[in-house]
């Protein structure tokens, strides 16, 4: 049954002169799981918001959107279409979990007993019974987003729209969240439209893939079929699952989506040995950051967060620290920046103990930390004022910020915010840059920009330490990777070695090629090896 039908939809924002959406038509059947992808600024959010009358932005719309056979704006109740947005924190309205779940039902004017039943039902379906009476402020990002989903599901919507719901979550939590959405789709035949950057997880699960570019729909259909049509489009393919990228590089007729399909694909090629390139052993390089047996805890009664942490970062390298949630990665970074004070051990920056840097001299042309929540970097109303405050000269930057100078920092996209923050930090001429989750919430293209930028910076003599959850990012840009576990670093190695030794905490490409090709941790490398080996002769 057709649930949503969109015909010739165009939209222009009130203040804009160009159309944001141009003649989009597609239809969705009940129970379908649709992935929507497109670069930042391609009109994804606008399209999704037009589908939800309560969130329709101001502007001129032409074309029809019909929901269950009627124009969507006549669909009276907010309850019928659920909408989950990007930021977990800001969508929460009330202080208690139970009140949050009841909020939508209270709005519908539903009786006490029915609210009690439905909230109870939702809490047990989502497995959040134990958090029912908790304060919403005490939950983690992933739990908050789950509460947001549950709070939308209580009103029994027929269509669920998600606008980059996992952008602010770490990969493991994100994967759990997407699986919960898939479970709703499967159990209740709920129709789902999800816009995502994290396509590795979503593409293998979706029934249909919808790609938009500059406000135009460029492809809509079964994911395999759609992807095989856009093989040549590097800008679109770069965000796709590793298996799909390998298929695209090899020009496979059928596009592989999951790791399982990817493995089958790779097995069709002859194995070739991949001898490791002799690593540039720059053991002579000076140590820039050194942790020696560092112990830290937040409060006396609490357990240690850093337990004898010892590691060294050499000059001009990109050092990526990976590890699970709450393993102490960010704490280590804050300690290196002198924000947290360890109770034992020493931290040396350029061979000098942190304690010996007095009067903020640590932050003068020495070290800078970019936090996870990038918004906290900005204090002024325009990017230009931010840069002036910091004394930055936009022309000296390795990237161009000119189009963004007069915008409010909060209005920038995630990638642009990261660039603006970097510009502000670079004005301080740091020699050691500490980055906490630099790729959080970024799309594939923005990630690539950041990656290339970090390379340029190391060439200019800056050393970079990045804490990240993003294994693909680390595999592609790090000189060395370190695995953080329970307050210490368990192993350190160059990415090829690091990721081919790990079997779970590794890239999709490495999982695809495991046992067939050695040290193929990126899709490019895997595809190159396949090409080198050649397709196996069909017997």
Distances (CA, A) of 215 to 107, 237, 396, 468: 34, 18, 34, 32
Sheet holding 33-37, edge to edge: 81-84, 159-163, 191-195, 33-37, 208-213, 216-221
Size of the site for another protein (CB under 8 A): 70
Instruction: Count Cβ atoms below 10 Å from residue 158 Cβ, excluding itself.
Output: 18
Q: Are 46 and 58 in contact (CB under 8 A)?
A: no
Q: Are 306 and 294 in contact (CB under 8 A)?
A: yes
Residue selected from 369, 404, 457, 483 as contacting another protein according to rule CB under 8 A: 369
Residue selected from 11, 83, 296, 484 as contacting another protein according to rule CB under 8 A: 83
Residues with Cβ within 8 Å of 479's Cβ and at least 6 positions away in sequence, in order, are 317, 318, 319, 494, 495
Give the shortest CB-203-to-another protein separation in angstroms.
26
Cα dihedral: 121, 122, 127, 132 (round 10): -90
Of the ranges 95-103, 253-261, 303-311, 315-323, which one interacts with another protein (CB under 8 A)? 95-103
Residue selected from 211, 306, 362, 423 as contacting another protein according to rule CB under 8 A: 362
Of the ranges 131-139, 178-186, 236-244, 312-320, which one interacts with another protein (CB under 8 A)? 131-139
116 binds another protein (CB under 8 A): yes
Give the shortest CB-153-to-another protein separation in angstroms.
11
Radius of gyration of the chain (CA): 25
Nearer of residues 18 and 54 to another protein, judged by Cβ: 54
Residue selected from 253, 283, 410, 515 as contacting another protein according to rule CB under 8 A: 410
Residue selected from 55, 188, 285, 405 as contacting another protein according to rule CB under 8 A: 55
Residue selected from 359, 395, 396, 504 as contacting another protein according to rule CB under 8 A: 359
d(CA 227, CA 388): 45
Of the ranges 16-24, 129-137, 180-188, 236-244, which one interacts with another protein (CB under 8 A)? 129-137
State phi, psi for 141 to the nearest 5 degrees: -55, -45
Give the shortest CB-148-to-another protein separation in angstroms.
8
Which DSSP symbol is given to 140? -
d(CA 181, CA 179): 5
Of the ranges 100-108, 183-191, 252-260, 440-448, which one interacts with another protein (CB under 8 A)? 100-108
Residue selected from 3, 13, 99, 494 as contacting another protein according to rule CB under 8 A: 99
375 binds another protein (CB under 8 A): yes
d(CA 366, CA 502): 34
124 binds another protein (CB under 8 A): no
Helix residue spans in 161-258 (DSSP H) = 171-188, 199-205, 223-229, 234-237, 242-250
Name residues contacting another protein, limited to 321-350 (CB under 8 A). Answer: 334, 337-339
Q: Are 248 and 256 in contact (CB under 8 A)?
A: no
Q: Report the relative pairing of strands 216-221 and 352-353 from DSSP bridges.
A: unpaired
d(CA 440, CA 415): 9
Nearer of residues 217 and 421 to another protein, judged by Cβ: 421
Of the ranges 61-69, 114-122, 201-209, 247-255, which one interacts with another protein (CB under 8 A)? 114-122
Q: What is the DSSP string of 375-387?
A: GGG--SSSHHHHH
Residue selected from 102, 219, 454, 512 as contacting another protein according to rule CB under 8 A: 102
Which DSSP symbol is given to 286? P
111 binds another protein (CB under 8 A): yes
Give the shortest CB-367-to-another protein separation in angstroms.
8
79 binds another protein (CB under 8 A): yes
Residue selected from 2, 7, 73, 106 as contacting another protein according to rule CB under 8 A: 106
Residue selected from 73, 121, 264, 373 as contacting another protein according to rule CB under 8 A: 373
Helix residue spans in 189-250 (DSSP H) = 199-205, 223-229, 234-237, 242-250
Name residues contacting another protein, limited to 215-274 (CB under 8 A). Answer: none
Instruction: Count Cβ atoms below 10 Å from residue 322 Cβ, excluding itself.
Output: 26
Instruction: Count Cβ atoms below 10 Å from residue 397 Cβ, excluding itself.
Output: 18
Partners of 287 in beta bridges:
314
Give the shortest CB-266-to-another protein separation in angstroms.
43
Cα dihedral: 422, 427, 429, 432 (round 10): -20
Name residues contacting another protein, limited to 426-445 (CB under 8 A). Answer: 428, 434
Nearer of residues 104 and 171 to another protein, judged by Cβ: 104
Of the ranges 199-207, 357-365, 440-448, 504-512, which one interacts with another protein (CB under 8 A)? 357-365
3-state secondary structure at position 152: helix
384 binds another protein (CB under 8 A): no
C-alpha triplet 203, 204, 208: angle, nearest 5°: 60
Residue selected from 21, 28, 149, 152 as contacting another protein according to rule CB under 8 A: 152
103 binds another protein (CB under 8 A): yes
Nearer of residues 373 and 393 to another protein, judged by Cβ: 373
d(CA 303, CA 487): 10
110 binds another protein (CB under 8 A): yes
Interface residues with another protein (CB under 8 A) are 52, 54-55, 77-79, 82-83, 85, 87, 89-96, 98-99, 102-112, 115-116, 119, 132-133, 135-137, 148, 151-152, 155, 334, 337-339, 359-360, 362-364, 368-369, 371, 373, 375-381, 389-390, 410, 424-425, 428, 434
């Amino acid at each position: 049954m057709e649930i949503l039908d969109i015909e010739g939809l165009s939209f222009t924002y009130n203040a804009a002169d160009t159309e944001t959406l141009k003649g989009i038509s597609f239809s969705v059947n009940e129970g379908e799981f649709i992935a929507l992808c497109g670069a930042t600024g391609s009109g994804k959010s606008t399209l999704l918001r037009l589908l939800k009358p309560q969130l329709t932005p101001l502007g001129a719309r032409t074309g029809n959107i019909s929901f269950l056979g009627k124009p969507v704006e006549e669909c009276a109740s907010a309850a019928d279409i659920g909408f989950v947005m990007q930021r977990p924190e800001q969508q929460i309205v009330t202080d208690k979990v139970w009140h949050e779940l009841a909020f939508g039902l209270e709005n519908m004017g539903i009786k006490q007993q029915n609210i009690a039943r439905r909230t109870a039902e939702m809490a047990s379906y989502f497995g959040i019974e134990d958090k029912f009476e908790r304060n919403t402020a005490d939950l983690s990002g992933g739990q908050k987003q789950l509460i947001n989903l549950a709070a939308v599901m209580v009103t029994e919507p027929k269509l669920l729209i998600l606008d980059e719901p996992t952008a602010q979550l770490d990969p493991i939590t994100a994967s759990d969240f997407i699986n919960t959405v898939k479970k709703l789709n499967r159990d209740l035949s709920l129709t789902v439209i999800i816009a995502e950057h994290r396509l590795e997880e979503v593409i293998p699960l979706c029934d249909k893939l919808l790609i938009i570019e500059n406000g135009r729909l460029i492809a809509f259909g079964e994911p395999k079929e759609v992807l095989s049509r856009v093989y040549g489009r590097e800008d679109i393919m770069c965000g796709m699952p590793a298996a799909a990228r390998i298929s695209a590089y090899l020009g496979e007729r059928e596009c592989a989506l999951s790791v399982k399909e990817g493995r089958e694909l790779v097995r069709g090629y002859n194995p070739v040995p991949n001898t490791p390139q002799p690593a540039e052993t720059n053991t002579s390089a000076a140590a820039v950051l050194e942790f020696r047996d560092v112990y830290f805890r937040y409060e006396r009664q609490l357990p240690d967060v850093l337990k004898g942490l010892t590691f060294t970062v050499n000059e001009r390298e990109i050092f990526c620290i990976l590890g699970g949630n709450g393993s102490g990665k960010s704490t280590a970074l804050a300690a290196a920046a002198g924000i947290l004070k360890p109770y034992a051990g020493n931290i040396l920056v350029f061979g000098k103990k942190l304690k010996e840097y007095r009067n903020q001299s640590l932050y003068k042309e020495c070290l800078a930390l970019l936090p996870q929540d990038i918004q906290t970097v900005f204090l002024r109303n325009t990017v230009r004022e931010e840069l002036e405050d910091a004394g930055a000269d936009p022309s000296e930057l390795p990237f161009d910020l000119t189009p963004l100078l007069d915008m409010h920092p909060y209005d920038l996209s995630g990638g642009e915010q990261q660039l603006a923050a970097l510009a502000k930090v670079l004005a301080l001429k740091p020699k050691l840059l500490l980055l906490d989750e630099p790729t959080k919430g970024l799309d594939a293209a923005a990630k690539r920009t950041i990656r290339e930028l970090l390379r340029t910076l190391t060439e200019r003599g800056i050393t970079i330490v990045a804490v990240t959850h993003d294994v693909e990012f680390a595999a592609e840009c790090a000189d060395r990777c370190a695995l953080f576990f329970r307050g210490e670093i368990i192993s350190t190695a160059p990415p090829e070695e690091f990721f081919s030794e790990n079997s779970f905490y590794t890239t999709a490409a490495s999982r695809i090629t495991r046992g067939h090709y050695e040290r193929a941790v990126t899709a490019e490398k895997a595809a190159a090896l396949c090409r080198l080996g050649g397709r196996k002769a069909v017997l």
